[in-house]
Amino acid sequence: MFDFERALGLVRDQTVVCVGDLMLDDFVYGEVGRISPEAPAPVLAVAKSELVVGGAGNVARNIAALGTRCVFIGVVGDDEAGRTLAAKLRSEPLIETHLIVDPSRPTTRKVRFVSEHHSTHLLRADWELSARLDEKTEHAVLEQALAALPRADSIVLSDYAKGLLTPRLVRTLIDAANRLGKPVIVDPKGKDFSIYAGATLITPNRQELADVTRHALAGEADIEAAAAELNRSLGTQAVLVTRSEAGMSLIPAKGEPVHLAAYTVKVRDVSGAGDTVAAVLAAMLAADVGFEVAMRAANAAAAVVVGKRGTATVSAAELRARILPAASLAPEEKIIFDWAVLDERLAEWRRQALRIGFTNGCFDILHPGHIKLLTRSRAACDRLIVGLNDDASVKRLKGEGRPMQDVHARAEVLAALEAVDLVVVFAQDTPLELIRRVRPKVLLKGGDYRRDQVVGREIVERDGGEVLLIDLVPGFSTTDIVRKSRVPQTS
């Protein structure tokens, strides 16, 4: 466990170079309520759509979400999809983007039509060209990647078989990285992995491993044998096999195999889960924490993103909350760092016509006053959301030496309470932005506030909601408890 804590701190100081096939993921969400009279096909009543950076770009986004710097090199066409991707990547502060524009190639775009209520993919439409790069574009990609390598702590090659990772490009980058002593992580494609020879770690899924080695993989022993054969033929240091709901298997060239079961989670969408695995492995190996720690982190990260909708990322906070011990599974499921997950919970509660309540605070040291506030708040609604200040905002509000407990400890204590249905972490000094997102029907605060002082009052009342003030328990204050604890005791 110490290794993982240390690894999370170390990845923030690393830089990963990511090269691969970039694509635009377009998710169209709606509900199917009838069959078309023109053909036996379901009609999707579109509610909303979402454009997301996909493919190797999603690997870069996941690297950045961990707090790791990423240098991303890719190719787009001279089209609207390419311009959208460029703009989205430029908005990521930890991603340094180098996109080569090739007018002869359309930007790869995938449109997925999804039944929102059942999280079911109904249809996917693709716009793509899988031809190899022309010599000029290949040279431009190589030039950018080789220039970035000296700054890298690891390199990840994300191959979606769209033509960017040519044999010459892959061979040149792996050889250059090996000369510099940089680990190379490859998310492979195709049935001939020989072009990836010399990579540090390769991450085929179970079917890809079976196809490339021509082995039937009935169990873990078969996976070990096939992966060991791949290590020998490619000169790789390890093979990590992703096995969907069955977990992952790590087969190092030296040392014992490790098999991990997948986390038990409610799967919403598996789009991009392989990108997350590659990104976490690249960040962890950049920090030189070892294959097994990297694998355990990647396994936990995959569990987080498949619980989200669409092509998603995992933050360091979410990763820590998943892999480190929580009070129990139920409290763990209540803690939300990613507001996109909050949106899904809110949508479900609203479908059930539940009355949603909201309160917020630092909750640094939980005391009877907090308990009374939370239990009385829960009595006024069907579901209670607690907005929790992150560590930086607590420090800004309360001063040096606060918080006494970090956000993970404070969140776990709150989530363990029966009165609390969700704990949502926010980084702003006030919960105004979060209240806009939640749109609660009842906003609750302690009786030490006047109604006109309650942040978000106007929003809630404009939506037809109400503001309730809860009487405080006299004699209890976190600030007083902290002050008393720091007063030297005399005998």
Task: Point out the residues that are catalytic.
Answer: 275
Give 374-393 as a DSSP string. Answer: HHHHHHTSSEEEEEEE-HHH
> Can you tell me the distance from the alpha carbon of 210 to that of 208, in angstroms, rounded to the nearest whole number?
5
Q: Specify the 3-state DSSP secondary structure of 307.
A: coil
- Strand 466-470 and strand 201-202: the pairing is unpaired
- Strand 335-336 and strand 422-426: the pairing is parallel
Instruction: Report which of 360, 468, 455, 454 is spatially closest to residue 414, judged by C-alpha positions.
Output: 360
Instruction: Report which of 94, 131, 126, 95 is spatially closest to residue 112, judged by C-alpha positions.
Output: 126
User: In sequence order, which residues have a C-beta less than 8 Å from that of residue 145 and are 6 or more positions away?
Assistant: 17, 19, 73, 155, 169, 173
Helices 316-323 and 291-305, axial angle in degrees (round to 10): 100
User: In sequence order, which residues have a C-beta less than 8 Å from that of residue 420 and are 6 or more positions away?
Assistant: 334, 374, 378, 384, 386, 414
Instruction: Report which of 46, 43, 144 is spatially closest to residue 97, judged by C-alpha positions.
Output: 144
CB 95 within 8 A of CB 106: no
The helix or strand, by DSSP H or E, that contains position 357, with its residue range, turns out to be: strand 356-361
Residue ranges of E strands in 137-247: 154-158, 184-187, 201-202, 238-242
Q: Please identify which residue in the block is written with the tokens 């190379």.
A: 184
- Tell me the helices (H) and strands (E) count for the chain, helix number first: 18, 19
CB 374 within 8 A of CB 454: no
